[in-house]
Amino acid sequence: MGVKRMKELLEKLKEKKIKFEIREREEGVKKKGKRKTVLVYTPRENLRDIVKMLIETSEDFPHFSVCSFADYGDYVELNYHFSTGYGKPLQETNVILRVTLKKDDLRVPTLTDLVPATIFSEREIKEMTGIEIENIPDGRHMFLTKDFPDGVYPWRRDETAPKETRKMYEVWK
């Protein structure tokens, strides 16, 4: 998204009173370029609206990369990594939509009807973290096997995390 388009998005966010943060990091040796990241603190109920805004303000279509996750004990953080404005030198901006969820209420709406590319990540999030994806069209396991036990979530840092197995380097000798 060009600079103009980016401003459009940020103004829309301000209108809706959604907090965001802009980060920049300089790259390059002789010629400097800036890596721009917009971190949007997205409330769960606004997630779909913000993705719609992102689609509206993008020239092509926002590229969806992946979902990442961090477990802080009593709450978790889910990040949707998007990028927009590709195709022109130095014009791309990373957009991270951060949804914070309480441990006792782990659910987010699906984005698959808006951005079809999210299906793999949503399936992955569902199996890895135990977050319920509302209205997900395909809820099968993505990377874990069909017979993987329920209630074990590899990315979590609480009692649902898998137990440490015997290490290969200990049984190796």
Partner 1 sequence: MKYEIPIGPIHPALKEPILLQLTVEGEEIKDVDVIASQNHRGIEWIGMNRNNPVQSIYIAERICGICNISHPAAVILAVEEAMNMDVPDRAQYIRVIQCELERIHSHLLWAGVAAHEIGFDSLLHYTWKVREKVMDILELVNGNRVTKAIMMYGGVRRDIKKEHIPKIKKMLEYYKEGFDKLAKFFLEDKTIEMRTRNVGILTKEDALKLGAIGPTARASGVKKDVRQDQPYFAYPDFDVKAITPDMFTGEVVGDTYDRIVVRLLEVKQSVEIIERALDELPSGDILAEPKLVKLLMDLKKAEGEGVGRHEAPRGEVIHYVKLKKDFEPFFSWKVRAPTYSNIMSWIPMLKGCQIADVPIVAASIDPCISCTNRVIRINNDGKREIIGGDELHRLSVKKTKRLLEGGS
Partner 2 sequence: MKFTFIPELFRQLFSKPYTNLFPVKYAPASIKETLEKVEKGEIKITPPVEIPDKETFRGKIQYDREKCIGCRLCIKVCPAKAIEFKEEEKKIRIYVGRCIFCGQCVEICPKNALSQGEEFLMADTNKVNENWIVE
Shortest distance, CB of residue 164 to partner 2, whole angstroms?
A: 14
Radius of gyration (C-alpha) of the chain in whole angstroms: 19
Crossing angle of helices 3-15 and 47-56, rounded to 10°: 150
> Cβ distance 142 to 123 under 8 Å?
yes
Shortest distance, CB of residue 168 to partner 2, whole angstroms?
A: 9
The option from partner 2, partner 1, none interacting with 106 (CB < 5 to 8 A, set by class) reads none
Identity of the residue numbered 6 = M
Chain centroid to CA 31: 31
Q: Alpha helix locations (H) across the chain?
A: 3-15, 47-56, 119-129, 168-171
Question: How many whole angstroms separate alpha carbon 91 and alpha carbon 9?
Answer: 15
30 touching partner 2, by CB under 8 A:
no
Q: What is the contact surface with partner 1 in residues (CB under 8 A)?
A: 25, 27-33, 35-37, 60-61, 63-71, 79, 81, 83, 85-92, 94, 96, 115-117, 119-120, 128, 141-149, 152, 154-155, 162-168, 171-172
The option from partner 1, partner 2, none interacting with 60 (CB < 5 to 8 A, set by class) reads partner 1
Chain centroid to CA 8: 22
Q: What is the DSSP letter of 124?
A: H
173 touching partner 2, by CB under 8 A:
yes
Chain centroid to CA 36: 17
Residues 132 to 171 in contact with partner 2, rule: CB under 8 A: 167, 169
Shortest distance, CB of residue 15 to partner 1, whole angstroms?
A: 27
172 touching partner 2, by CB under 8 A:
yes
The option from partner 2, partner 1, none interacting with 173 (CB < 5 to 8 A, set by class) reads partner 2
25 touching partner 2, by CB under 8 A:
no
The option from partner 2, partner 1, none interacting with 29 (CB < 5 to 8 A, set by class) reads partner 1
Query: Which of 97, 161, 173, 107 shows the shortest CA–CA distance to 139?
Result: 107
Return residues touching partner 2 (CB under 8 A): 167, 169, 172-173
